[in-house]
Structures are given as C-alpha cells and as structure tokens.
Chain A
Amino acid sequence: MLVETGTLCRMVVGGTRDAVLAQLRRGTLEYCVLALLRDEERYGFELVKGLSRVEGMVTSEGTIYPLLSRLRRDGLVETTWRESTAGPPRRYYRLTATGKDALDWFAVEWIRFRDAVDLVLEKRIR
C-alpha cells in the first residue's frame, strides 16, 4: 500500500486516493506486461511474480490473468503450452508484432506524458 489507511477515504480530485491509483494502474499495467515480454516469453506465474516485485504496481495479483486473457484475444500476445519439468504444462506468453508496436508506441507516449506531468507539477511552466 502506498498510502496509509487513515488517508484512504479522503477525497481527492475525481475520487478517493485508492481510486486514483487504481485508474493509473489500469491504464499502464497492460503495457508493463507487454514490456516484461519484450525479450523473452514467460509463463503466467513468472509474469505475475515479476510485476509483484515492483512495489505499488499490482494490488491483486489475480487480476493479471483476466488482463493476459484480453491481451491474447486482442492479438497483442500469443500463447503456447510447454511441458514443465515440475508439474503440469505451462501457458507461455509471447509478444506478437502488434504487441511490439503497441509497446513501442506506449514507450514514446509515456515519456511524453510523464514529462508533461512533471513539468506542471514542478511548476516549470506558468
């Protein structure tokens, strides 16, 4: 949790602080998933663990699976089943060409957007 419990219900612009963070995550998490797949294919559990290591990125790990399922249906990732040395076969996710395009586009737009927000927050424009 990024905010203390006491401040959770305090209203900020457009909703509670929790809701604001949820909105931010909602828009960016799928690109973080794509980014993790940029250089190598990974299976679900591996992806989730990767994302969870980054503090504040994921609050409920389980929600990543419906997201992966949508990325697959949208053609941004493709999946293959591979045998595992320990236990049942695993579903591996790999970036498609469309997924790579989406990731490259977002990487540029994100920097532009982040810089714009920083500019305003740091009062470098009037």
Chain B
Amino acid sequence: MKTDVQAVVDSYIRELERELAALPRSRRREVVDDISAHISEARSETGENESAVRDLLDRLGEPAEIAAEARDHLDVRPSKVGFVEVAAIVLLPIGGIVLPVLGWIVAVILLWVSAAWTTREKAIGTLVVPGGLLPAFLMMFMPVGMETCIGGTNRRGQTVQEVCTGGVSTLEQLGLWALFAVLVIGPIASAIYLGVRLRRRAPVAH
C-alpha cells in the first residue's frame, strides 16, 4: 500500500518535471522542490492513505497548470511554432536525400537553433537516425544479395562448374531487411515525436 502511494507521488513529480522542461534548470528545481516539500508536509499530516494522497494531488492541480503558471511568471512562454520548427521536422527525414548529406545537416542546425525543444528531444531528433532517411535510401542501391557466377559453357562446349560468390544466406537477408525497416521507421518516428512534443507545448489559452 505504501509503495502504491509513493508510486502515485513519483509519477506526479515526474510529470511535473516533464512539463517544466522549458524552464531553466535552477527554476525548474525550485518549483519541483517546493511542490515535493508541500507533498511531504501534507503526507506527514494525513498519513499514508492513498485516497488522501490522491486528494492532495488533486488540490495541487494538474502539473501542466503549475508549469503554465511558472512559465507565465518567468516570461518563458512556449515558443510559437514557426518556419524553423516546421522546416526542421520536414528536412530531418528527407533533407539528406533531397540535398545529399547537406540537407540533413541544415535540418540539424535548424533543430538545435529552435527554442521549441529540450536538449533531450533535440538529441533524439539528431541521433534517430543520423542522415534521416538517407541511409535507408542508399541501402536500396547497395548490391547486396547479387550473385556473381563464373562458369557456364566453355569454348569446346563442355559444361564448366559454376562458381558463384557474393550471395547472402536467408538469415543475412532477414537481418538486412530488419535493418532497412529500422532505418526507414526511425527517422519517420522521430520526426513525428518532435511534432508531438511541439503540440504538447502549444500555448495554453487563458
């Protein structure tokens, strides 16, 4: 029972930290510390009863609401979704194909220049997958699985044993397909992720 209560509180604090991501670290710490102190003060009064703790968190309000207040007072408003953000999301997957390698580099610069994402989100956008869809694109032209055979019929019409090299086993082929799938899905998924994070941080109307 006790661990249940702790889990509820922990997940509340984690959500609060996520919502406060746009704030400078020291200010985020301050709000989180204050709220944590409030929760432990209240818990020492009411005891470790789950419904009391849920009621306490209810009264504290949604983490998003607290974060909105913190941003408002700190004049750190969520940045507007502008050209830079849209261009970064579009160019991250396909930029490297349209303008080989360079297009992706431009996208990464736009991603890091924008204030709309946290460092962690930017790192995910950059590392999943470096080059965007370019590695997958290049893979389609790789001469894998092509068998080169030497042999056939010699000048005297005798059949010579064929010697084939370069073929891949079924297992290897499966591995390559899996890699290809990862290289295709990765950049698309991370672009969608960046888009979703932007939406979550859209200004709250008051």
Chain A interface residues toward B at CB < 8 A: 19, 22-23, 26, 44-45, 48, 52, 59-63, 65-70, 86-88, 90-91
Contacts and interface: CB of A to CB of B under 8 A. Distances in A.
B65 interface: yes
For the residues of B in contact with A, the DSSP-based class is helix
Given A44-B34, A45-B42, A52-B59, A66 B69 contact: yes
A45 B62 contact: no
B38 interface: yes
Given A22-B206, A66-B70, A66-B73, A60 B60 contact: yes
Contact of B69 (A44, A52, A63, A86): A63
Contact of B65 (A62, A88, A90): A62
A61 B62 CA distance: 10
Given A63-B61, A70-B74, A44 B31 contact: no
B73 A60 contact: no
Contacts of A48: 38
Residue from A62, A67, A69, A90 whose CB has the most chain B CB atoms within 10 Å: A62
A62 B30 contact: no
Contacts of A44: 34, 37-38
Contacts of B42: 45
A69 B73 contact: yes
Interface residues of B, number: 24
A62 B37 CA distance: 11
Contacts of B73: 66-67, 69-70
B27 interface: yes
Given A62-B66, A66-B31, A88 B37 contact: yes
Contacts of A23: 206
Nearest to B71: A66
Contacts of B35: 62, 65
B118 interface: no
Given A45-B42, A62-B60, A67 B34 contact: no
A63 B30 CA distance: 13
Interface string B28-44: 00110011011011101
A78 B65 CA distance: 25
Interface string B49-89: 00000000001111101100110111000000000000000
A88 B62 contact: no
17 contacts: A44-B37, A45-B38, A59-B61, A60-B66, A63-B66, A65-B31, A65-B34, A66-B66, A66-B69, A66-B73, A66-B74, A67-B73, A69-B27, A69-B73, A86-B44, A88-B37, A90-B41
